[in-house]
Amino acid sequence: NKLIEERAGIKPENISIRRAAKHIKANILWFHDEEDDITPLSDAIKVKEDNHPNIHFVITKGLGHRRIYRDPNVSKQIVDFL
């Protein structure tokens, strides 16, 4: 957290992805795993419930926070999205 504060000049607890998402116009492919031990799924669900037309959510299971982008299915979806 100290590193984030030093580099960004903002305390992590003051960062709101939900608030920021309202200002992003680009298409977004958002992956979140049910078993993420760093960022709770409930945080992503709140953004999903805001019904942003440009954000496509994919909820995975069993990949956690760090393994998600090494999953072949996730990688394929990213390539297809791009």
Mean pLDDT along residues 43-63: 94
DSSP codes of every residue in 15-49? --HHHHHTT--S-EEEEEETT-SSS-HHHHHHHHH
At 52, is the pLDDT very low, low, confident or very high (cuts 50, 70, 90)?
Answer: very high
Spatial distance between the Cα atoms of 54 and 78, rounded to a whole number of angstroms: 15
Is 33 inside any structural domain?
yes
pLDDT greater than 80 at residue 3 = no
Provide the terminal-to-terminal Cα distance of the chain, rounded to the nearest Å: 31
pLDDT greater than 90 at residue 23 = no
At 11, is the pLDDT very low, low, confident or very high (cuts 50, 70, 90)?
Answer: confident
Number of structural domains the chain divides into: 1
Overall pTM > 0.85:
no
Task: Residue 36: give the domain boundaries.
Answer: 17-81
